[in-house]
């Protein structure tokens, strides 16, 4: 999986949870001043809406997204959870 560093603290791709799915787009707009080619989409819901942020043209494959979600604590017991296909 190709990664891109936007700043010393921000490396693409990454996943992040949000209380509302609109917040994914709000964060995307906030970050686009650093990297105009930034893209985002909702990829998982477990009570939180998980957004995937990536560089245009470099969307990670599903196994890589699942690994990021698992590393972030989103995956585990899958009962009652839904994973969006991407």
| pLDDT one-digit tens code per residue, 46-85 | 999 999 999 998 999 999 999 999 999 998 755 445 555 5
Name the residue among 25, 28, 21, 27 with its Cα closest to residue 46: 21
CA 67 to chain centre: 11
For residue 4, name the pLDDT band (cuts at 50, 70, 90).
low
Q: Which helix or strand (DSSP H or E) is residue 18 part of?
A: strand 14-18
Q: Which pLDDT does position 6 carry in this prediction?
A: 62
Report the percent of the chain where pLDDT is more than 70. Answer: 79
Report the percent of the chain where pLDDT is more than 90. Answer: 67
């Amino acid at each position: 999986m190709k990664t891109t560093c936007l700043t010393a603290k921000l490396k693409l791709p990454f996943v992040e949870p949000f209380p509302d799915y609109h917040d994914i787009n709000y964060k995307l707009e906030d970050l686009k001043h650093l990297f105009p080619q930034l893209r985002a989409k909702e990829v998982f819901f477990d009570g939180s809406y998980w957004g995937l942020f990536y560089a245009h043209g470099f969307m990670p494959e599903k196994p890589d997204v699942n690994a990021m979600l698992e590393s972030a604590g989103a995956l585990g017991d899958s009962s009652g959870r839904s994973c969006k296909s991407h």
